[in-house]
A and B are shown apart, each in its own frame.
Chain A
Amino acid sequence: MDWLTSINPLTHVGAGEYATFWQTLFATLFLGIWSRIFATLLLVLSFWFGVRRRNLMMGFWTFLGAGSLAYGAAVMRFFGLLAR
């Protein structure tokens, strides 16, 4: 089936390029200054939503996001998904 083949990313880019894309994305999300900035923003937002706006649902998800960014690199490395 052609349409199934067309949604396979390896028909459009090479395997190496595809892996590099994910490595760069994970590295940007979980390592370095951008990770710290995103995580801090999410933690501040969780307080803003949870305490100030009293929107507990958004407070919970933003808190979970901050935790995921902080500890995500360790988990990704454990599963061998982050080479750096």
Chain B
Amino acid sequence: MAKDDATDIMPMPAGQEIHPKGLLEAISFIEQNFSNELGGAVLKDTFLTTKQRLEFFEVGFRSSFLSGLISALLTPIALGVIERYIPIFGDADPSRFDMVFAFMLAVGYSLGFAIFLAYACTKFVGGYTRAMIRNLLGGVVAGAVLKAILAFLGFHFLYFVMLSDVNMQKGAQLLYKAHIPRNAVVSAYSWLYDFKPVFLTSAWFILGVTLVFILIPTFSMLLARLRNRKLIKAGLVHVEE
């Protein structure tokens, strides 16, 4: 008969260490450990190794940077619709509904992603899950800020350098030399000349959207912290500091 030598210590084999490769995987690890902590498991934040912290940061950075680029690319199009330079639903004179729709398309991706992250950022109660979320959110904020800076500089570069009067005239001359009809060149030139200030509006608009994008999950994390204090005070959850 086997001797009953069961202890509370269960060493984790190296192969079972968590290494999130994508956002969904990172969130599922957080949810799993949040559930353990709610069930009474005491997991210290030092369980999360430096390598794992970096991995959570990297996942957050990558996902926020890529999703931010999609909305950054859609922004000048949406503002072009609102400024009546780009047709939406085939209509060059958009109705109020069309403008709202274009605006939602521009900010919808960032907004949806921020709400998605906000939900994940509430899944902490002890030190372990808090460390995971802090690193994930840190990466998300870093990715969003870098995206905003790149988009801001990029759109200003487009306006001041790429689409400067000299460069536009050079471009028009090249089109003439390529035997493009004069009417087409003139209309493309005047459209681009009128449209280019939209890039400056987009640059500032992206800064605003990025701020909202960062504030939504940060605010939900603060709310979750208040919820945790209440749960601990009521004795429903035990957390070792």
Please measure, in the bound complex, the distance between the C-alpha atom of A51 and the C-alpha atom of B86, giving whole angstroms: 29
Query: What's the minimum C-beta distance from B76 to chain A, rounded to whole angstroms?
Result: 12
* Cβ of A61 under 8 Å from chain B: no
In the complex, the answer to whether A30 meets B89 with C-beta atoms within 8 Å is yes
Evaluate whether A56 and B89 lie within 8 angstroms (CB atoms) in the complex, with A50-B116, A63-B109, A71-B77 already known.
no
Query: What's the minimum C-beta distance from B187 to chain A, rounded to whole angstroms?
Result: 13
In the complex, the answer to whether B105 meets A67 with C-beta atoms within 8 Å is yes
In the complex, the answer to whether B90 meets A74 with C-beta atoms within 8 Å is yes
A-B contact count (CB 8 A): 64
Stretch at the interface among B96-104, B134-142, B163-171: B96-104
Of B77, B97, B98, B112, which one neighbours A50 at CB under 8 angstroms?
A: B112
Give every chain A residue within 8 A of B113 (Cβ-Cβ): 50
Please measure, in the bound complex, the distance between the C-alpha atom of A59 and the C-alpha atom of B113, giving whole angstroms: 10
Judged by DSSP, the binding face of B is: helix
Give every chain A residue within 8 A of B108 (Cβ-Cβ): 43, 46-47, 63
In the complex, the answer to whether B112 meets A74 with C-beta atoms within 8 Å is no
Best-surrounded residue of B24, B74, B89, B113 (most CB of chain A within 10 A): B89
Mark A residues whose CB is within 8 Å of B.
30-32, 35-36, 39-40, 43, 46-47, 50-51, 54, 56, 59, 63, 66-67, 69-71, 73-74, 77, 82, 84
Mark B residues whose CB is within 8 Å of A.
23-24, 74, 77, 86-91, 97-98, 101-102, 104-105, 108-109, 112-113, 115-116, 119
12 A-B pairs within 8 Å (CB atoms) are namely A32-B90, A35-B90, A36-B98, A39-B89, A51-B116, A54-B119, A56-B23, A63-B109, A70-B89, A70-B102, A70-B105, A74-B87
